[in-house]
Amino acid sequence: MDSIDAVLTTHPPRFDEVEAAAIGGDVFGVVADGAVNLGSERDQTFLLTSSRAPAAVLKVSNSAESTANLDMEALVVAHIARVDPSLPVARPLMHLAAADPDAPLSYRALVGASQAHWCRAYPVIPGRLRCNPSELSDRAVIAWGETVARLARAMRGFSHPSAHRVLPWDLKAVPMVRGMVAAIRNPEWSTAVEQVLDRYDTAIAPRWESLRAQVVHGDLNVDNAIVDDDGMISGIIDFGDMSHTALITDLASVIDSLVLDRTGDDSFRIARLVLDGYQRVTPLEADELLVISDAWAARAAAGIAIGSWRSAEGLEDPEFAERDLVRLYAVLRRILDTGFDEAAQRVSGISPMRSRDELIRRREDVFGPAAEPLTYDEPLLAHHASGVWMYDANGDRFLDAYNNVPCVGHAHPRVSEAIARQSRLVNTHLRYLHPTAIELAERLLATCPAGLDTVLFVNSGSEANDLAWRLATHVTGRRGALCTHFAYHGISEAIAPMSPEVLYKQQHSDHVERWRPADAYRGEHLDASQFVEALARLESKELPPAAVMLDGILQSDGVQVLTPEYVRDLARRTHEAGALWIADEVQGGHGRTGEAMWSFQRFGIKPDFVTLGKPMGNGHPIAAVITRREFLEDFADATVIFSTFGGNPVSAAAGLAVLDVLEDERVLPRVAAAGQMLRTAVRDATRDVSCVGDVRGMGLANGIEIVGPGSKTPDPVAASNIKNAMKRNGVLIGTTGAAANVLKVRPPLAFTEREVPVFVDALVASLRGLDLAE
């Protein structure tokens, strides 16, 4: 067994109540005529009384206790009082001979004739000691978690040489605890403790050096906390077990204490409530969440081993120790019967990764037949992502060249932190005043042409387009609509008819007409003729147009590059026809073209409505309609526009963070350079590949058209095969266009020139693997 501090092997002091009262008066000036022995593991603690009323608390230390440890306790209390004065920490009294309140020596005095002991005195803190943990309310349990976190936060700037000692109930001292297992008389208990210590070796030990560490209290439990009538902590006492160790040591200690005498699954529920309270103050990191249940089990196992060893060494009354050990074993048994992995899931809420086949089956059971089918022959089982990289459950990584919603990159730290920070403060609706949505609206308007002066927040691109359409029909008094041949604008009842990409062929709404921009690849001249014909069809049905809706990059139509002259002509004709222009920037906005913030700005037009979707929050549910105040004045007389959580503080914080990243990382020029390099590299690599008919796009909105050999006939089968081969080669893409034959290359805007060779190599390998490269 590793060396054990002498203070743990030395019998506690043996002062009686009369001596304690005398020490209080002679050393600390506390007028006391009686004392009550409160009991203590290795020291003695007395409640000093005067006429039976509490006067002070006297603590007589073990004779083996070092002065360095005692001074560390005095210093940390002073430190906590400076950092978080509202924490109810017991602060020591100066002895009568002391002069300097900043000197630790002023708070300890030597007493005893035959054997010297250091003693300290504390004021009485109102409340009761050693509450019954099973009687604590849920509210109190959560508050305990918060207090533990606050205490650790107050101590994180504290350091002292003595804090690096090793104590057996510290999580880092499990090897020391193993040496005590032989003292456990009950073989079932011994086996259980060994199982937990083995789990520690496989689950905690490999991660130990990655866990956050600092000086912590180390033993905040029901024996070391005073509570009020509601079970809330009103006093924190006994810093004698503090050490520099993993931050979760404190959390494991309080969980271990508060679950005592709880039955069944209530132990895990209480553990979760403690964790909830703790994370209101200090969120746990991923590794900490993974091991917190094992840390709790290790703490309980250590308690059984230490208690058994102390009893065997004659340092503790065996009968008293047995009562506590029975309670601890019940907790340990419950964890073991549940299983370590299941217990970890119940406490942390982190679900184990299921097999892909199981998830596919369960998905089919609950999502129904109308859900969007999974992409790829071998669906991606996504585990985590960062920037432009996604990782599956096996740890294999994939270059994401498909997903536009994580606009500035998966899990961007600026956006993630903004969401987390604001969610810990407040999240509510726009009926209450809050600055984030206002600032976001102001910054969005600053990116738009003059005249666009009003922002309406909703939660998704579908909602934004729905609201824009609703306003357009109200302003014009019309109900006709125009969209492109294979557009996608949303799923609401009003917008789905303008989303032919997701409609069955037989579905059609009389009030919607479509036009197909000319196909430059196939030699068609880009003019307004089809648009004019679509307008005429509406008029012939006596359904004059209320609005034209256009995605400026034609993502769903196969990624077509429209000229400014063409779109300006369409916008002019739209307004001449008495209709309004809706610029759908869900896919093409936030700098995706690399030329401007919004794709409509490439064309030099002034839309009547600009709609934004979830990319504006990097995937967080926020969207917006940017429009003219004049359109709303009459509308406001009839109703109000209210989306319960549109523009809520958390979503708005995400939106602001995205705008910050776009500016600070100079995303637009990076997008332009990466897109140009990508298109050039793909053209060069596929120059002699007959199935690659065209490579087109702008910025990071790009399409690679796949055609039949020696023709310009769309080949959706080959396109699908290439998409799946690309996934096998570590790159994610999709397909788009009315014939589903265009490879959709639409990565997060974190995609840079560094990723271009990765993409091109995967494309070449995929074409060769499918015998499509010549």
Query: Does one domain contain both 182 and 93?
Result: no
Q: Answer yes or no: are the C-beta atoms of 244 and 215 closer than 8 Å.
A: yes
- Residues 324, 228: one domain? yes
Work out the average pLDDT over 721-729: 98
Q: Do 243 and 324 belong to one domain?
A: yes
**Is there a domain that residue 455 lies in?**
no
**DSSP of 206-260, one letter per residue?**
GGGGGS-EEEE----STTSEEE-TTS-EEEE---TT-EEEETHHHHHHHHHHHTT
- What is the arithmetic mean of pLDDT over 407-425? 96
pLDDT of 320 strictly over 80: no
Considering the domain architecture, whether residues 94 and 193 belong to the same structural domain is answered as no
Beta carbons of 746 and 587 less than 8 angstroms apart: yes
When comparing pLDDT for 505 and 732, which is higher? 732
**Burial (CB count within 10 angstroms: exposed 0-12, middle 13-18, buried 19+), residue 376:** middle
Whether pLDDT at 41 is above 90: no
CATH code of the domain containing 152: 3.90.1200.10
Residue 501 located in a structural domain: yes
Q: Could you tell me if residue 511 is inside a domain? A: yes
Which CATH number is 543's domain given?
Answer: 3.40.640.10
Domain that holds residue 165: 133-348
How far, CA to CA in Å, does 403 sit from each of 610, 612, 614, 634? 21, 16, 12, 39
DSSP collapsed to 3 states, 159-173: CCHHHHCCCCCCHHH
More confident call, 649 vs 172: 649
The domain tally of the chain equals: 3
Give 47 or 9, the one with higher predicted confidence: 47
Pick the last residue of a domain from 587, 612, 637: 612
- The pLDDT assigned to 347 comes to 94
Neighbouring residues of 15: CB distance < 8 A, sequence distance ≥ 6: 23, 44, 46, 60, 112, 117
Q: What percent of the chain has pLDDT over 70?
A: 99
Q: Are 607 and 583 in contact (CB under 8 A)?
A: yes
pLDDT average, residue stretch 643-664: 96
- The percent of residues in the chain predicted with pLDDT above 90, rounded, is 83
**What gap in Å lies between CA 60 and CA 45, rounded to an integer?**
6
- Range 242-251 average pLDDT: 96
Do 212 and 157 fall within a single domain? yes
Distance (Å, whole) CA 9 – CA 354: 49
240 and 202, same domain (yes or no): yes
Task: Please indicate, yes or no, whether residues 18 and 66 belong to a single structural domain of this protein.
Answer: yes
pTM: 0.85
- Asked if pLDDT for residue 468 goes beyond 80, the answer is yes
Q: What is the pLDDT of residue 506?
A: 59
Average pLDDT over residues 385-407: 96
pLDDT band at 598 (very low <50, low <70, confident <90, very high): very high
Please name the residue ranges forming H helices in 508-581: 529-540, 564-576
Residue for token digits 């250091």? 118
pLDDT tens per residue across span 503-548: 755 568 999 999 999 899 998 888 999 999 999 999 999 999 999 9
pLDDT tens across 56-96, in order? 999 999 998 999 999 999 999 999 999 999 999 999 999 99
For residue 106, pLDDT over 80 is answered with yes
- Considering the domain architecture, whether residues 78 and 160 belong to the same structural domain is answered as no
User: Is residue 642 scored above 90 in pLDDT?
Assistant: no
Residue 289 within any structural domain of the chain: yes
Examine residue 419 and state whether it is found in any structural domain, yes or no: no
Whether the predicted pLDDT of 774 surpasses 70? no
- Average pLDDT on 245-268 reads 94
50 φ, ψ to 5°?
A: -130, 115
User: Where in 558-715 does DSSP place strands (E)?
Assistant: 580-584, 609-612, 623-627, 692-698, 701-706
